Structure 1
């Protein structure tokens, strides 16, 4: 070794030593966030925090902790622990005086920490997650850049992630594992990125490629695969509580699958995460929103809707509103927030009224828990779409941009509607089926504070099956007040009320302000117990614009034709209230919507600095704040969620709680490094982040672990081995379909209904039934399976899927006998076993070769001699059984009738089906390793 090498190594070791001692230097300064706050949360805050303030003392907010208590003096005197009751009470000799009260006393070292903290000035500090992530320097990178090459070695680190992991492993006295086998690695990364294992061809091509960049090429192909979006959409739909039904007692169907397709496409397009959240929270408020951006707002229309008769629409509108607040915090901020509905946060510095300031962002949307799920985006059949294009062209040519946009919105959304539940003071009238205004002959109803300022026309959506026209009078102030107008509602058909609707527009006299309307209905032809008609809704309109322009009558007629036209597809979306419909937001006393207190304006909690003044105080302003680099949580929470999907556990294990009660990061420097890189270098694009993770040596490690490593790090928090995780419900099903050759790659469209046991949907309140899909729709990916909240698809529930009634930020894996029974006996898995057996039997050679083939198709690697021996013996024994009991073979193979199996081949096919089932039930098959 020459002198230059010796000097270089010596310098490197010296630098490492300096770095180590700089990191491990013993500071006397007490850190509030990491040392003091955990003690307070564990021992004090239950009685002295956001819920209770015993003795007038709280340790949640600095001003309260240092303020006067009920005794008239502060409990904490900064710099003076000897005269601070807070310290004195911790070791008081009288058990009635000692704190914590009637529980075990604090440990000596905990008291010492608190005493030293007070002596040092009781400096407050913010929780790590509530401060912006910092740019972190990669540890030890380049320190020995030339060392390995000089000695013919190769460094382990492949990218920056590995330097953080190496640094952590060294401190924990651990070593990294070797790289996983090629086949194992391809299966792992394929399952992670697209939710499917590699096909036989993909595996063979990868194993045959010996180039240095073979793995990276495979990763790039997976990232560009259309199946990427289907895999990652499942994660999002859990949190977005996406469902094809409305929930609650009736749990009727809902047409919202366009939102699911939007999420899949967004992931495939690598949409920046901050744009993704903005479009979902406030796509309708963006300048000139596209159809896709409107559909994105269905995110917060996934809330449940109660269609049961007799329920209070405002109560359940409020329930949906609360859910939107809680979901937004849990998804984007990883912070528990629901408790602040009733009181200040027990552990984090968020006050009770700040919940309602946040709620105010969402309180002015048009949805009102009505059964038709309005507002919704109306999409038309092709012939009607042509008419819509013609109307838009006429409007843009002849009227102002504002008027053009307003009337296009009227056609697209039919908003703002005035729904029947606005009515009160019924006389001889009621709400029929909780949906429609129904008034008998001579009956009246009041509509309070109708926003008539500047409106010149009234549109009425109604049904009249009486056989005679109904007269509707509008009186001002009282049923006998001044008659504003009288209109004729002609018959619309003889079927059910909603079989034939009509939409009529009537001129209004000039009006101002808001007025109470009393509607009186008369129809002498109806019986006393019958309704004169039903009203679906009213819409107050301005004059159709462009009067005097060429083609005015034609344009007006096209508008009315489109209003009357039933759309081909509707999707519930967000739609902001116009000025006349705005609601004020008030604090709910103890969380009860019936007891309202002071009025509040939209804002974010003070701990985050409030909403910047340059942002609008609406959902768009909130979305821009959430997606900004100034927000301390959004990037961290997103990065952590992607990391958890890859490694099975997040850098912060509690994905849903980054607050003071959540787990601390296993590698805080790596978390902040990835969060800042995600924002600054990757421009919030998920595919770039995921590529960096899966290209790391950390990810590519073998997942095997010895007993010592499992004892020291059972959850693999230090990452001394590769990820080994049980697949999620969708992946287990989709993988079985692919391996068997049944999987359909058809994308998008309405949800499908594959095999499901009878009786799951039996309900006295709903006529909905499970109609088995035809053809390839039975074998589509699980993300397209119809999801009903009161009866979710059972095999997905068995493997820890949620009901999607509320946001599910993290699926907690369970291990139950039901899971094995599902993969052995569920008709879908039996069919997969049967078709995998067919693939195996097509292999040239003997039974041994066929079993090898099936194992390799399923596991992406060759079977060991020991396992081959077991499966071969199993086949032989089973074959003999089915030869002796042919009816049992017929029963097994008859789950899906297949006349292509010749009678002489039935025993061998049935036996191989059982072998295939055994392969599909191996732990290693349902596990990513």
Structure 2
């Protein structure tokens, strides 16, 4: 039972037979009148009817009414106080009256100002200017400013100094800093250092507001609803849109995968900032319950939340992000921008068209099982000497390739021998990745039924048709005869690369056509051939 809320009480779910797996009583459903009585009892607080307190129990929400709240000083209308003129001979403004009163209260003799030898005096000019400059600019005055202020003999020297400080851009920067703290201004979020690239626009907007002495009501309206405002002036319209950044500055967990929860967290943060900034009041507690000592019921909180929920703030993805919109430009700049955008779109379409005509990029690794014929990978070959395994240059066959590290020439070799090869004619091909640091004279020996053939392969050139396979020629192989390829680094003038050897079966016609065809990068070394 949830006292006060029948819809959340499981007993109501059970007696109404709403859930086939939870039905009470099991012998049959209660009459509608009995269920209605039970609902009414829970709605009234589910009190024990035998207790006297149940007869007079008040189930109405408990929160401070508006009438009661107005008795507290914080919720009373602001009234101009009566200012005493007892010390008027020492004051230039009503504020001075309070300052003098405080000073007089701190003096040992609380008598009349005119008879008190310790009566307050005006601050020295250098002290006065330092106070003014720190208050209005946040920085000390320069030596030149102090000298000029001290030597100014005009009767309105003080007013002139104030006007000068107010007219400086430093005044807007000083005042905007305080407001930016209220607006929780930052140029990044805690999450992954997520940067807000245009946050500076809101900062500059606030500085301009103070320097231009914009009315407070306009300042508030632009920050809360600037996107709903209009203006014929382009600069004013830009500032209205930038001002709404006030609602977006919160440090929210955009990575939250519960996007409904995320949206309500954003709204809660917005409401908290709005109330603190413009009402000097926190209302966040009303997200869960009525305020006990403030006139903020939960229904008012969600009424405000409903207004903000009507606005689309986030663009959801795995990590959600704020929605960006372009700022309006003057008509001549808008035309130039539109022309550039059209040209960029046209170029993008051209690039896509050209890319569609390109050959697909080769895969980084090619599986042996995807290749025709009999393929012996470097991982299946036998090696002599120390060879380095690598997968740096792509593509390659299998899981990588071997290279001799360009060391110990004549001491290293790799032999590729198929476990079984049917008798017949085959084209034999060597796989490697070409490169500028490769050897131009890699020694390759092919052992077949025709004897031993020796070739030199230039591995700085790519293989046939710019690929990774280089033909070593066509050869006959017999049952139980020699059938293997040996690659060595004898006299190599660069790195020797070995990846795989392929034996491609040929038709009889192919075999008779030319039994000595080799790739341009593989030249037969007849001086070393032997039968």
TM-score, L = length of structure 1: 0.27
Query: Based on CA coordinates, which of the two structures has the bigger radius of gyration?
Result: 2
Normalised to the residue count of structure 2, the TM-score between the two structures is 0.46
